[in-house]
């Protein structure tokens, strides 16, 4: 609650003409999320587009306001200035609504925080008493708040806000190119797979994992593993995925299943306006020119270590420290992977 108290007080500083009702709206959004506002994605897109057209792009305005609990108000004026498309913002709003579990008990407890704001006590007490008596309903901004601050935003997950530089880069590029190919490389447990899945969900696009091209046993020779970036079947990836992806054809590939030591059933991938590839070694020197956007995903060691431990305990961490991390670092250094990227994203602690 201390963090939320700080966020609410910061909100008052930024919007000093808010009332008790506006403060409760802040808390309502923190604990109840955006789901109550969204029953139909298509209708939500129409409403957002209307609001979007009326909003001025404002590079000086804050992009977001943190609500706590992994949620934010994502301000449309900042989105417009950054280059995000309204369709992408609608999608972030929709996906966030699916992932938030409302917490009315948390809201009930948090209402006490309004008393700590420098608002007239009688106003606060009267509003809170009436609000509780009504059963904690959905709250609107007051006319005073709307007239003074012209709020225009959508409630989204903090994670999506953190990756808006990439989303904006994709949206700007999609305005120019009929087909876009994005690659995400970086150290193990830096958040590449999570980022790739997020992009696939947001843009409803194909996602290819470099882990599906793990070396087969007969390929794991000392000579092969001595090559920087040699511990992935880049030849098969180039033939089965990259070549048809570049020419805009449908294709299929065979994921290698390390547990079964056999190929899984072929995966069919239709040609798409956007395709994402994630995983270490996807930005080898002989592969990288095929991509329109190259992303370096990184995270601090504490975050990476915690993720590796969560995967399979100390054994997983030791295996990565002794084998996979040295191989990756040799590849990153030899092929200058970070410096070839258009964008670097810090995914620490997320």
pLDDT digits (tens, 9 = 90+) for 50-108: 999 999 998 888 899 999 999 999 999 999 999 999 999 999 999 999 888 999 999 99
Distance, in Å, from the CA atom of 217 to the CA atom of 153, rounded to the nearest integer, reads 52
**Confidence class for position 37, pLDDT limits 50, 70, 90:** low
**Confidence class for position 315, pLDDT limits 50, 70, 90:** confident
Largest CA distance in the chain: 78
Q: What sign does the CA torsion over 301, 304, 307, 308 have?
A: negative
What mean pLDDT is reported for the chain?
Answer: 94
Angle at 234 between CA 227 and CA 170, to 5 degrees: 115
**Confidence class for position 38, pLDDT limits 50, 70, 90:** low
Distance, in Å, from the CA atom of 193 to the CA atom of 209, rounded to the nearest integer, reads 8
Contact 45, 38 (CB under 8 A): no
Contact 322, 328 (CB under 8 A): no
Give 209's strand partners.
278
**Confidence class for position 29, pLDDT limits 50, 70, 90:** very high
Backbone phi, psi, residue 155, to 5°: -85, 125
What are 95's two structure tokens?
A: 């996906």
Residue-range domains of the chain with CATH: 2-161 (no CATH), 164-346 (3.40.50.300)
Percent of the chain with pLDDT over 90: 85
Give the pLDDT score at 316: 81
Give the pLDDT score at 35: 67
pLDDT digits (tens, 9 = 90+) for 108-124: 999 999 999 999 999 99
Give the pLDDT score at 313: 81
Distance, in Å, from the CA atom of 85 to the CA atom of 101, rounded to the nearest integer, reads 27
């Amino acid at each position: 609650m201390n963090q939320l108290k700080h966020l609410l007080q910061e909100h008052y500083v930024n919007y000093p003409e808010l009332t008790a009702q506006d403060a409760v709206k802040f808390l309502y959004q923190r604990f109840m999320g955006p789901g109550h506002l969204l029953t139909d994605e298509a209708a939500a897109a129409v409403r957002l587009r209307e609001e979007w057209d009326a909003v001025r792009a404002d590079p000086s305005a804050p992009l977001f306001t943190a609500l706590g609990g992994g949620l934010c108000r994502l301000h449309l004026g900042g989105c417009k200035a950054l280059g995000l498309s309204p369709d992408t913002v609608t999608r972030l709003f929709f996906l966030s609504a699916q992932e938030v579990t409302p917490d009315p008990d948390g809201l009930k407890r948090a209402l006490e925080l309004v008393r700590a704001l420098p608002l007239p006590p009688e106003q606060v007490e009267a509003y809170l008493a009436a609000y509780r008596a009504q059963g904690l309903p959905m709250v609107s901004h007051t006319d005073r708040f709307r007239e003074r601050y012209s709020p225009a935003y959508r409630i989204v997950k903090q994670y999506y806000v953190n990756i808006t530089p990439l989303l904006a880069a994709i949206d700007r590029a999609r305005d120019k190119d009929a087909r876009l190919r994005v690659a995400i490389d970086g150290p193990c447990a830096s958040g590449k797979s999570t980022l790739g899945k997020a992009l696939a969900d947001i843009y409803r696009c194909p996602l290819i994992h470099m882990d599906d091209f793990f070396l087969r046993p007969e390929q794991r020779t000392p000579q092969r593993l001595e090559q920087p970036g040699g511990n992935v079947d880049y030849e098969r990836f180039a033939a089965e995925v990259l070549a048809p992806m570049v020419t805009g054809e449908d294709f299929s590939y065979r994921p290698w299943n390390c547990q079964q030591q056999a190929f899984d059933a072929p995966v069919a991938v239709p040609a798409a306006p956007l395709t994402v590839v994630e995983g270490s070694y996807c930005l080898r020197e002989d592969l990288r020119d095929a991509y329109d956007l190259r992303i370096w995903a990184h995270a601090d060691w504490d975050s990476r270590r915690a993720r590796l431990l969560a995967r399979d305990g100390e054994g997983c961490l030791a295996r990565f420290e002794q084998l996979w991390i040295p191989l990756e670092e040799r590849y990153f250094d030899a092929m200058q992977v970070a410096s070839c990227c258009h964008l670097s994203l810090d995914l620490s602690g997320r």
